[in-house]
Amino acid sequence: MTIEQFDLDDPAPDEISVRIAATGICRTDLHIRDGDYPIPSFPVIPGHEGAGIVTAVGSAVTDVAIGDHVLLTYPFCGQCENCRRGMMAYCEQGFVLSFGGTRLDGSTGWRRSSDGTSVNGHVFQQSSFASHTLAAARSAVILDRDLPLDLAAAFGCGVSTGAGSVLNAMELHPDSQLVILGAGTVGLSALMMAHHLGVEQIIAVDTNADRLAIASALGARHTVNASELETRDAIQQLTEGGAGYIFDTTGHPNVVADALDALAMTGTVVMAGAAPAGARTSLDMNVLLNGRGVRGTIQGDADTHQLVPHLIDLYRQGRFPVDSLVSTYPFAEIQRAIADMDGGRVIKPILRMPTNEVP
């Protein structure tokens, strides 16, 4: 990734201009960088966990105002059948809105300052790896102004996905047995939410001992280091025969197949890990037949306008300690932040934009 100078158009009718204060880095940004999703052409400006201050609003925007502090969340069209029934995470236009590199009409508001040529931006309709950006107004969640924006950025995609998955894709009760595969942002956010709901039997699995220590501190009763133990056997032993829910955040085909084998009868694997396009897995059909299921979730099925304020409330009450996942970096050190995330040295890197900039 390189940092370059661009000019931005005024917001389209349903857009807002935002001075980004901070943005999280999510693994999906790295999939975009690596070409795992079909972005039409590079260069492109990634970033989809932006928090900032609204500096202009499009002509059709009525519910966001200049000066509002906002968290930018995933995009949706607001008109398709899934959007109309409140399942915006499954918007029929969601993929193209996230990875098309343009607005829905194919236009882009980003131009290279050096020669005026158009470039792809509008990733997740927000391209938040930028000091200023254009964003879809309907995806902006308005924040209390006393919430630090670099903390607000932590409630973006990954944290919402983990917490939302537990709330929306599982029916947990205190006696449930929940296994979480991958103690990164998504997995640990699921853990915090399950712990908040009173689930006592939470097992966290990872290959990174530091992350497993954090999982224990956040409420995991057991941890399994997958580089030392055979995960399926360890889960079956700890759960005495199989787990009710296994939450996969890894997106590895073999991990998902093994997870199914470690479920109790009638248990469910909930999958939130993004796999490279076209990845397939194979499942034991007779294992599945015993009432077991595998389901995927995008963004934890969440309506972020409901979920994000709820999570911020819980955070303020000390029940959802998202700050324990965060490390901050100056924007200029984006490469170091990504390297630290890739190396497992940090969980949720947050980039802070320079504050001396004129909005």
In the chain, how long is the greatest CA-to-CA distance?
Answer: 65
Q: How far is the CB of 303 from Zn ion (least distance, A)?
A: 13
| Structure tokens given for 154 | 């932590």
Contact between 26 and Zn ion per CB under 5 A: yes
- In whole angstroms, give the CA distance from residue 242 to residue 142: 42
- In whole angstroms, give the CA distance from residue 130 to residue 331: 8
Member of 16, 137, 157, 188 binding Zn ion (CB under 5 A): 157
Contact between 51 and Zn ion per CB under 5 A: no
Q: Given the rule CB under 5 A, which of 136-144, 156-164, 196-204, 235-243 is the region that contacts Zn ion?
A: 156-164
Give residue for tokens 């300052």: 113
Contact between 28 and Zn ion per CB under 5 A: yes
- In whole angstroms, give the CA distance from residue 92 to residue 76: 8
Q: Given the rule CB under 5 A, which of 83-91, 237-245, 276-284, 290-298 is the region that contacts Zn ion?
A: 83-91
Radius of gyration of the chain (CA): 20
Which of 349, 337, 324 shows the shortest CA–CA distance to 210? 324
Residue whose CB is less far from Zn ion, 96 or 287: 96
Residue whose CB is less far from Zn ion, 86 or 241: 86
- In whole angstroms, give the CA distance from residue 65 to residue 352: 23
| Structure tokens given for 259 | 């997870």
DSSP bridge pairs for 72: 140
Q: Given the rule CB under 5 A, which of 18-26, 100-108, 165-173, 294-302 is the region that contacts Zn ion?
A: 18-26
Q: How far is the CB of 332 from Zn ion (least distance, A)?
A: 22
Member of 18, 39, 45, 91 binding Zn ion (CB under 5 A): 91
Residue whose CB is less far from Zn ion, 136 or 226: 136
Contact between 83 and Zn ion per CB under 5 A: yes
Contact between 80 and Zn ion per CB under 5 A: yes
Reduced to 3 states (helix: H, G, I; strand: E, B; else coil), residue 189 is: helix
The one-letter amino acid code at 298 reads: I
Member of 25, 39, 51, 77 binding Zn ion (CB under 5 A): 77
- Residues near Zn ion (CB under 5 A) are 26, 28, 76-77, 80, 83, 91, 157
